Amino acid sequence: MKVYVGGASLEIDFIEKMIGDLLEQGVQITHDWTEDIRHTSQFTSVPESYRRACAVEDLHGVAKANLVWILSPPTDIHSIGCWVEMGYAIAKQKPVLISGPLAPSNIFALIDSVRRYATHQEAFDHIVRAHKSLAALKIPIES
């Protein structure tokens, strides 16, 4: 299974942990945007061309995914990128899991292709179960 994981850059440590945990379970990550942010000390001070390239890579990661997981940030953290990625995934008709505090209140989480989870752990467990089910059935995932 190929997954794109979106979330707030201010929660980069937690997002990296979730990506690492998915990789340990054999799940493919289509694009790890945390690497882009880690390579700069101040992401907003890098050239626009670099940030534009990062945005394009993020959207390519969403497009290549079989599933998009949005880790909704806490209400006190302002985030824009993960909501753009979620909207793009919905437009591309990708299944979306959204987990965390804003999951119940986000109106786009009410769209049929979006599944809401109160906790990140519940969403993680769902992804791992789905991945293992596909692997056990030896169902190929298109490239």
64-98: pLDDT as tens digits: 999 999 999 877 777 778 889 999 999 999 999 99
Say what percent of the chain tops pLDDT 70: 87
| Rounded mean pLDDT, 111-115 | 89
The model's pTM: 0.88
- For the 2-137 domain, the top CATH level (class) is alpha beta
| Residue bearing the bigger pLDDT, 98 or 101 | 98
State the Cα–Cα distance between residues 54 and 33, nearest whole angstrom: 7
State the Cα–Cα distance between residues 60 and 130, nearest whole angstrom: 22
What pLDDT shows up at residue 43?
61
List b or e across 53-84, with b for residues whose CB sees 16 or more CB atoms inside 10 angstroms: ebeebbbebbeebbbbbbbbbeeeeebeebbe
**3-class DSSP assignment, residue 143:** coil
pLDDT band at 125 (very low <50, low <70, confident <90, very high): very high
State the Cα–Cα distance between residues 61 and 34, nearest whole angstrom: 12
Strands (E), 1-143: 2-7, 28-29, 67-71, 96-99, 114-117
| Residue bearing the bigger pLDDT, 74 or 111 | 111
